[in-house]
Copies of this chain bind each other. A is one copy, B any other.
Amino acid sequence: MENFRFNAYTEILFGTGQIEHLSRSLEPYGKNVLLTYGGGSIKKNGIYDKVMELLKDFNVIELDKIEPNPRIESVRKGVKLCKENKIDVILAVGGGSTIDCSKVIAAGNYYEGDPWDIVVNPSLIGEVLPIVTVLTLAATGSEMNKNAVISNMETNEKLGTASTKMIPQTSILNPEYMFTLPAIQTAAGTADIMSHILENYFQKTKGAYVQDKISEGLLQTCIKYCPIAINEPTNYEARANLMWASSLALNGLCGCGKSGSWTCHPIEHELSAYYDITHGVGLAIVTPRWMRYILSDDTVDKFVEYALNVWHLPLSEDKFALANLAIDKTEEFFKSCGIPSTLTELGIDRSKFDLMAEKAVKFGGLQNAYVSLTPEDVKNILIDCL
């Protein structure tokens, strides 16, 4: 286990009715609230009306239409609104896209230049406005961590930035808010959660046993409850376990004490940057291909652990057979949840693979991943995804 700093300071208010604490959560910061949200699903399911009712004593400025892959243009708009209206606190109501966008707005409020600078270079982040979130989708874990991913479609860049100051102060997690979620979003969100865990599970660091056991537990949670949530959208237990798993998958618990670059996320970020596909869908397509590509004498023992402890496959003498079976299970699982299983289905061809592979290695630092990858390797993995 390596040295680490862990600081997931977000206050989580979990469960039905917790929204009633909203105004109390905002009050310490001031009366001027920037309310951020996405395409308007919160207007259909009643969350918007409930929030506005609870905020009747606040001055609420709205930023809506934040994109599923949130764009720097939305950040710029948000920063402008913050500065013009002397915003005290940002209330993000939505999934990871809305929260990520809000984080960079919150940091951008105190940055004099163009906010794209602080996406490219997180060390430029200084003060950050406090952020409160109301989560409506279990996926990114953004509700309890320091990360934000922003896209710049002009330059075809989708980059991550981070600052402990961007960790939300309070996040309200009501599993009922996911009852109306389309099956594909439940599935893609779960694929995202699982990818966050797997990116940390498969790392070179040895002896981080606590982290691996928590990771295995959270993966089992996803595998158990995603199909239930798809078949019974209003199953509270399924939604609750997926929602809490999403926060814990990326608040540092699975990754602390380990090091190394992630692999599937940087590759997927290129897919989203060029084709604007759903992040979780991209991850579900790339992950099993990556697993198969890196399976070797060096990695097989970790895949055996994965097979036994996550998929509960019966112990076998043939380690590679067991590893491959676990990878099959992973692939079949995503498919069974209704996620497209090839890039071809999404209309993506190989025309930009060279460029994407180059950029994934460069921006993702893939030479420092669990298994070091060259642009050639990434291209091969992408071809396997067709």
A residues near B (Cβ < 8 Å) are 1-18, 206-210, 213-214, 216-218, 220-221, 224-225, 236-237, 240-241, 244-245, 248, 253, 256-257
Residues of chain B within 8 A (CB-CB) of A214 are 213-214, 217, 248
Residues of B within 8 A of A237 (CB): 1, 206-207, 209
Cα-based distance from A236 to B256 in the complex (angstroms) = 16
Contact A210 B241 (CB under 8 A): yes
Q: Which residues from chain B contact A216 at a C-beta distance below 8 Å? A: 213, 217
A-B contact sample (6 more), CB < 8 A, given A7-B9, A208-B241, A213-B214 = A3-B17, A3-B18, A9-B11, A206-B237, A213-B216, A213-B217
Q: How far is the CA of A257 from the CA of B220 in the complex (A)?
A: 18
Would you call B7 and A207 a contact (CB within 8 A)? no
- Give, as a whole number of angstroms, the nearest-CB distance from A8 to chain B: 7
> For A206, what are the chain B residues with a Cβ–Cβ distance below 8 Å?
237
B7 and A14 form a contact (CB under 8 A): no
> Given that A213-B220, A220-B213, A221-B213 are contacting pairs, would A207 and B240 also be in contact in the complex, using a CB cutoff of 8 Å?
yes
A15 to chain B minimum Cβ distance, whole angstroms, is 3
- A270: min CB distance to chain B, Å: 32
From known contacts A220-B213, A257-B244, infer whether A14 and B5 are also in contact, taking CB-CB under 8 Å.
yes
**Which of A10, A209, A237 gathers the greatest number of chain B CB atoms within 10 Å?**
A209
A207 to B15, CA, bound (A): 13
Contact of A221 among B13, B209, B224, B225 (CB under 8 A): B209
A10 to B14, CA, bound (A): 19
Contact A5 B1 (CB under 8 A): no
Please report the C-alpha to C-alpha distance between residue A235 and residue B22 in the assembled complex, in whole angstroms. 47
